[in-house]
Amino acid sequence: MKSTAAGTGTNHAEGEVLTLNVGPQHPGTHGVLRVVVELDGEIIRRATPEIGYLHTGIEKQMEARTYLQNVTLVDRIEYLASYNEEMAFYQAVERLLGVEPPPRARAIRILMCELNRIGSHLMFLAAGTLDVNVTSVFMYAMTDREKYLDLSEMLSGQRMMPGYFRPGGVAQDLPDGFVAAARTFLDGLPGRLDEYERLLSDNLIWRERLEGVAPLAREDAIALGATGPVLRGSGIAHDCRKLLPYGGYDEYDFDVPVRAEGDAYARYLVRMEEMRQSRRIALQVLDRLPDGPIIVDDRKIALPPRAELARSMEAVIHQFKLVSEGIHPPAGDSYVATESPRGEKGYFVVSDGSNRPVRAHVRAPSFYNLQTLPAMIEGHPLSDLVVAIASMDIVLGDIDR
Amino acid sequence: MDRQAVNHESLLDRLRPHVPWGLTTPREERGRSIIFVTVGALLDVLGAARDRLGLDMLVDLTAWDRIPASPRFEVVYLLGRAGSADRLTVKVQADGDPPRLPTATGLYRAAAFAEREVYDMFGVVFDGHPDLRRILMPDDWEGHPLRRDYSLSEEPVEFHGHTPKVPSAIIPYFPPGSGSGSGGTTPPGGPQP
């Protein structure tokens, strides 16, 4: 461990307390997270997360950009789940505008969000197993995530940070061969997940490092604002896709996996099952993919089709106005809860009727989930800290923004 | 959609007997139940929402700068219920230098980080918060970055033979109702070049 001892020991009644800095540069923190722990021997008496090392002022920058430009910034917040991030942002903007994307756009959005959820959970599996030193699963999961990244590249040209969603729809239609490629990926997935579960569920090291480790009581999870697999791993069936359906999720069948144990192993099991459920949703989308336009037919919101620019002066003017000035959502604020792979993600967007948001706040699931860290590890050995952080699956870009 | 509307309606109605109703302004907006409260009634409303309505989760807590309007800051609490679709938005406006509000950490432990962020970014002081320190900015930072009069400083983009402009100055701001082709202006109190 590359931890550096900071400060000196203090004499307490129960023994000597050592203050130890874990991070901000530490491979187990999945980014630049610093945790100040007070150790009594090997037992953590107090843990204080210190964040902000990756703060880039995205919320401030968003106030100086138009709604179309901001897609570039929101991609970089929860960078392992950029499609879900764009979904959250544009749901809030579309609620302000009062527009609904056409059916095909809604289906493509859900398809990409669910593929992204699989990709993100595979990244959790890879990073989590690496933290516990199960390196073979790390290699396998990264190989599978590569297939998701290839799909993203095929669709948007980008492996990460796609910038693919637009207000009222998506940027382009699915390319030729995408549906077949997505099916190949999804068909191969259950066999791979079974293999991981065989490799991990029968693995003594994995089970002993996760079972009963980093426990989070149901009441603590609720009180500290945890969402996503952390909350569902503590026994609460809370999934915004089911409870507050957005973007057309109510048209698809899926289950919300819940585990009551509240430990790191429960969170791992929840994510494994969520990948299967995401596959189920994605297959339903592929089966019933509707035809039709991929973006709303409103020239004040969506760019005119490229071919129209050669024929219509009006289209050229609309194109110019949208690119230079952007859209003007009516004054007001909006918030739409969406379910990112890490929990509830929502954008609180305030508009004054101009072409830039007055305020764009991100309800970041990792930020609130991180608050549960002290509850998980206080009174437990230092070695559980890395497991606790891995099982929360935080993204520091999401915490610090 | 109808079922949801009924749910929201009843949420505010169910809250009515438990709070000083005269100090609040309820509103239904785009499917959200919103209640404006005065600073004095804030904790009563949050407490009633938690204990009487079962809204046991503080989903989000944030603020925005209403400059040049007064009171200047609006703090927004989003309450929810674990495993349920109930959602209530509580808004309160604060003014003063520094603006002060009572902390919600006694009712919702999740407010600890969120209030620190609002303090860091807007300078709103939450009285009674157990550990009100900056959270994202360095401890010795001066100013509160998300205030609208805090200028957005950027590296100018260098071109040969060109006066460099900061990137945000290149994107013109079009206030509501501005004429077509007006060229845009600088936002009021907003990020200045």
CA distance B179 to A206: 64
User: Would you state the pLDDT for residue B68?
Assistant: 80
CATH number at residue A221: 1.10.645.10
Please check whether residues A80 and A34 belong to one and the same domain.
no
Q: Does domain B2-127 have CATH number 1.10.1740.10?
A: no
Question: A137 with A237, same domain?
Answer: yes
Q: Give the pLDDT confidence score for residue B60 in this predicted structure.
A: 92
Pick the residue with more confidence: A41 or B154?
A41
- Which of the residue ranges A72-76, A88-92, A135-139, B23-27 would you say has the lowest mean pLDDT? B23-27
Task: Identify the pLDDT of residue B6.
Answer: 47
A14 pLDDT band, cuts 50/70/90, is low
- Tell me the mean pLDDT in the region A358-374: 92
Nearest to B75 by CA among B128, B36, B30: B36
Give the nearest partner residue to A244 out of B85, B174, B191, using CB atoms: B85
Chain B interface mutation, best of A32, A34, A58, A60, highest count of B Cβ atoms under 10 Å: A60
**Number of domains chain A contains:** 2
Is the predicted ipTM greater than 0.90, yes or no? no
Q: Are residues A281 and A382 in the same domain?
A: yes
Same domain, A165 and A298: yes
Low-confidence ranges of chain B (pLDDT < 70): 1-9, 153-159, 161-193
A224–chain B nearest CA distance, Å: 4
Rounded Cα distance, B138 and B143, in Å: 11
pLDDT of residue B170: 57
Cross-chain CB nearest to B187 (options A321, A356, A359):
A356
Q: How far is A393 from chain B (nearest CA, A)?
A: 18
Contact of A346 with chain B, judged by CB distance below 8 Å, is answered with: yes
Residues of chain B found within 8 Å of residue A373, distances taken between Cβ atoms:
none
Q: For chain A, give the secondary structure using H, E and C.
A: CCCEECCCCEEECCEEEEEEEECCEEHHHCEECEEEEEEECCEEEEEEEECCCCCCCHHHHHCCCCCCCHHHHHCCCCCCCHHHHHHHHHHHHHHHHCCCCCHHHHHHHHHHHHHHHHHHHHHHHHHHHHHCCCHHHHHHHHHHHHHHHHHHHHHHCCCCCCCCEECCEECCCCCCCHHHHHHHHHHHHHHHHHHHHHHHHCCHHHHHHHCCCCCCCHHHHHHCCCCCHHHHCCCCCCCHHHHCCCCCHHHCCCCCCCCCCCCHHHHHHHHHHHHHHHHHHHHHHHHCCCCCCCECCCCCCCCCCHHHHHCCHHHHHHHHHHHHCCCCCCCEEEEEEEEECCEEEEEEEEECCCCCEEEEEEECHHHHHHCCHHHHHCCCECHHHHHHHHHHCCCHHHHHC
pLDDT at A89 over 90: yes
A114 contact B CB<8A: no
- Bridge partners for A339 per DSSP: A344
User: Which candidate, A204, A218, A292, A302, places its Cα nearest to that of A260?
Assistant: A218
For residues A303 and A328, membership in a common domain is answered with yes
**A356–B171 C-beta distance less than 8 A:** yes
Angle at A231 between CA A230 and CA A233, to 5 degrees: 65
The reply to whether A21 and A139 lie within a common domain is no
Task: Let me know whether A142 and A26 are in one domain.
Answer: no
> Is residue A45 within 8 Å of residue A17, measured between CB atoms?
yes
Do residues A252 and A320 both lie within one domain? Answer: yes
Condensed to tens digits (0 to 9), the pLDDT of residues A105-148 reads 999 999 999 999 999 999 999 988 888 888 888 889 999 999 99
> Are A180 and A125 within one domain?
yes
Residue % of chain A over a pLDDT of 70: 96
- Domain residues for the domain of A327 are 58-400
For residue A281 the two structure tokens come to 């949703």
CB atoms within 10 A of CB A204: 7
Nearest CA in chain A to B178: A354
CATH 3.30.460.80 spans which residues of chain B? 2-127
Q: How far apart are CA A249 and CA A285, in angstroms?
A: 10
Split at pLDDT 50, 70, 90, the class of A202 is: confident
In chain B, which residue's Cα lies nearest the Cα of A320? Answer: B181
User: Does residue A19 share a domain with residue A98?
Assistant: no
- A99 and A188 assigned to the same domain: yes
A39 shares its domain with A69 = no
Q: Do A367 and B172 touch (CB under 8 A)?
A: no
Q: Is the pLDDT at A226 greater than 50, yes or no?
A: yes
d(CA A9, CA A50): 20
